[in-house]
Chain A
């Protein structure tokens, strides 16, 4: 049986004061409606009860782990620099992966060289251009260009480590996405969403 919509309106606070008064009067006079309201309340209480479960074991582990992360962040400046560098690079790498021109209008190495020579303003402007682009279904392009996640990771590695000493280094794309700042991740996500590919 469907729940009376007036009950939902009532519990949502969508009724005006006069509607509310009329409904409450009806509620107190109707056994059927009152039973329905009670069963609705009971259902919601049971549902709510499912997330009142508290595991003391798990909750006892949170603070030590957070403290550990705080201490780790406090110590080595080098790590922060690498993380910062990676987050900027990750945007470029993602751009590189999803840029439909990477194999059509210029060769990969041309694109990499161009990105390597860019300053931060140019990189932001590239991101801006990417967001403005309307290239239709990029997923098809990516599938046809890369084919698998291994191929994507290899492309990311190539894009990030261009100099001789770091060649062949493995880059975990999952870590790269983790290294994006929330703003960067949102920006990439929004860009993909605007293109209706997510």
Chain B
């Protein structure tokens, strides 16, 4: 389904109104950030992905044809970029570039200084990072962003049946992990 406001912003942006891009950023930045954060498990990497996704949006928006909704497209880019970032992280570890200092910086830098919120975020990051990537992906999009399986299938390119099975296993693992955390 096409969001009329999105359509209007994109049209205005194509006509040269740069402010329309700002409006789209304001509308979607939190969704993009949280999806990336849940995929990557830390603020620094999520922040990098948010910027990459918004740069892609800026560069490709002129070619966007509304065959899918704008948010599905943005989730697709965010998912791909997050997986790419996870792969880079593994490459760095492999090449010994991720030492304890950068790990510390990643875990130390965050959205909030408030202890209670930090603890909640720590728990969220920890539980989600214990899920395999495919399960994390579907769990994040369904449980947090409340997308339908059909929308998730469009984003991930996977079958609805496969996604349901992944979600089931993710739910099972999350409930066990949450009980252990308490």
B25 in complex: contacting residue of A40, A63, A149, A185, CB < 8 Å: A63
- The answer to whether A14 and B165 have CB atoms under 8 Å apart is yes
Would you give the 0/1 interface string for A176-198, flagging 1 where the beta carbon is closer than 8 Å to chain B?
A: 01101010011011001000011
Q: Let me know if B70 is at the binding interface, CB within 8 A.
A: no
Q: Which residues from A are CB-within-8-Å of B167?
A: 12-13
Quick one: closest B residue to A12, CB to CB?
B168
Q: Which residues from B are CB-within-8-Å of A114?
A: none
Q: Let me know if A3 is at the binding interface, CB within 8 A.
A: yes
- The answer to whether B178 and A55 have CB atoms under 8 Å apart is no
Q: Which residues from B are CB-within-8-Å of A182?
A: 80-81, 84
- The answer to whether B55 and A70 have CB atoms under 8 Å apart is yes
B51 in complex: contacting residue of A54, A62, A139, CB < 8 Å: A62
- The answer to whether B171 and A53 have CB atoms under 8 Å apart is no
Quick one: closest B residue to A67, CB to CB?
B22
Q: Let me know if A69 is at the binding interface, CB within 8 A.
A: yes
- The answer to whether A152 and B95 have CB atoms under 8 Å apart is yes
Q: Let me know if B127 is at the binding interface, CB within 8 A.
A: yes
Would you give the 0/1 interface string for A74-115, flagging 1 where the beta carbon is closer than 8 Å to chain B?
A: 000000000000000000000001000000000000000000
Asked, given contacts A8-B175, A62-B51, whether A192 binds B144 with beta carbons under 8 Å apart, the answer is no
- The answer to whether B55 and A197 have CB atoms under 8 Å apart is no
Min distance, Cβ B156 to any Cβ of chain A, angstroms: 16
- The answer to whether B171 and A59 have CB atoms under 8 Å apart is no
Q: Let me know if A174 is at the binding interface, CB within 8 A.
A: yes
A43 in complex: contacting residue of B54, B95, B175, CB < 8 Å: B175
* Bound CA–CA A11/B178 (angstroms): 17
Residues of A bordering B, CB below 8 Å: 2-3, 5, 8-9, 11-14, 40, 43-44, 47-51, 53-55, 58-59, 62-63, 65-66, 69-70, 73, 97, 139, 148-149, 152, 173-174, 177-178, 180, 182, 185-186, 188-189, 192, 197-198
Residues of B bordering A, CB below 8 Å: 22, 25-26, 29-30, 33-34, 37-38, 50-51, 54-55, 58, 80-81, 84, 87-88, 90-92, 94-97, 111-112, 117, 120-121, 123-124, 127, 143-144, 149, 164-165, 167-168, 171-172, 174-176, 178
Pairs of residues from A and B, 4 with the lowest C-beta to C-beta distance, nearest first: A189-B87, A12-B168, A50-B120, A50-B124
Q: List 25 A-B contacts (CB under 8 A).
A: A8-B168, A11-B171, A13-B164, A44-B143, A47-B174, A48-B143, A48-B144, A49-B120, A50-B121, A51-B38, A51-B144, A53-B111, A55-B111, A59-B30, A63-B22, A63-B25, A66-B51, A149-B95, A177-B95, A177-B97, A180-B88, A186-B87, A192-B91, A197-B94, A198-B94
